[in-house]
Structure 1
């Protein structure tokens, strides 16, 4: 059963047996896109198979804060992952793809409470007073993973932020995944924020199982 999270996915078999998986998301209006440097990873497996995985045609469009809040960062990303396999291995599977998203400083409410009241004088007048401990906490930022595809933990529910076909496999010597208008976001960020795209493929033969991961260059979320 396919799971969707306000997006659509289609799988098209290529003439050479490659699988092309296209993900369509929400756009960012008429904002201008800027290119993002891709990446390439090549790994030779124990049985002589060579796996080459690359990110190409990557671009990002920075969006206005949806909540009209400078601590809310959003961008819409597009790109294509291509995999080529030579040697004994034939076909494989994209097991994960997405973005590592980090923020310099995280902030939020410190959970304090406030109280109000007053005192009554001898002449009957009331003098209001208030005591408050409300404020914000500020601490070092963290890196989180935002998935486009996650076949690694079996949890593909929309609540988990993941959606996918049952498998993102490709046959033959090549395959690709294209994502378009993918929303990359970070909330409660008080400092610099950035994201780095990544994807992992699994290639399995009778003799060996190999995983290859490629990372693109980080891009700013503002």
Structure 2
């Protein structure tokens, strides 16, 4: 049975709980924030009938207060696994190019798995095309977006000189790349910042060579 004393007591408990939540929220603002992401999947049939399926699984990001400790700095770590399956072809193989697009005060949410990002960095198509840049330490101003590849594999070229590859090459009907705690650092962005993963796959058969691109879900860097 509720009376005035009970109601007052409940009001006091509610106020204390609100204060506690406020304290927890303040602490959370200074802690890492884990973001689970849905990944994605796309299937494309090539002109010779070969079926290519690209998946992005186990995707997540951890947003951390920047070591720069200013509003223009962002810092995150991203993890995921890119998986490719090929059916219906002979003597097939391919290359997997995983990476991220990062934007400052710009919409990088495209229209579907092949839609890309609706920000112009190449001055032509209005889409952010994956570039050859490697490494996630980027300097961005408002309205800018850049892309980078996750992999930087050192290997000798045909002449024995040092070469760097941004892809994982595979032979046969399947291949994969897994990365953990890939750094995404943004400097110079005074507004909101976002990032979005992509997996670009070049597939080659006896009859055709094609590119399939899967885009992940955009996530906020703060």
Q: Is the 8 A contact 1:92 1:201 kept in 2?
A: no
Structure possessing the higher relative contact order (Cα contacts under 8 Å, 6 or more residues apart): 1
Tell me the TM-score normalised to structure 1 length. Answer: 0.61
Counterparts of 2:199 and 2:218, CA distance in 1: 14
Report which of the two has the higher share of strand. Answer: 1
* Pair 1:94–1:52, CA change in 2 (3 A): same
* Pair 1:189–1:32, CA change in 2 (3 A): closer
Counterparts of 2:151 and 2:95, CA distance in 1: 8
Counterparts of 2:77 and 2:67, CA distance in 1: 13
Which residues in structure 2 correspond to 1:1-222 (within 5 Å)?
A: 31-104=32-105, 140-149=142-151, 164=165, 168-222=168-222
Query: Aligned-pair distance for 1:42?
Result: 1.1
Q: Is the 8 A contact 2:198 2:213 kept in 1?
A: yes
Counterparts of 1:64 and 1:140, CA distance in 2: 20
- Root mean square deviation, CA, Å: 2.4
Stretches of 4+ aligned residues off by more than 3 angstroms: none
List alignment gaps of at least 5 residues for structure 1. Answer: 1-29, 106-138, 152-162
Report which of the two has the higher share of helix. Answer: 2
List alignment gaps of at least 5 residues for structure 2. Answer: 1-30, 107-140, 154-163
Tell me the TM-score normalised to structure 2 length. Answer: 0.61
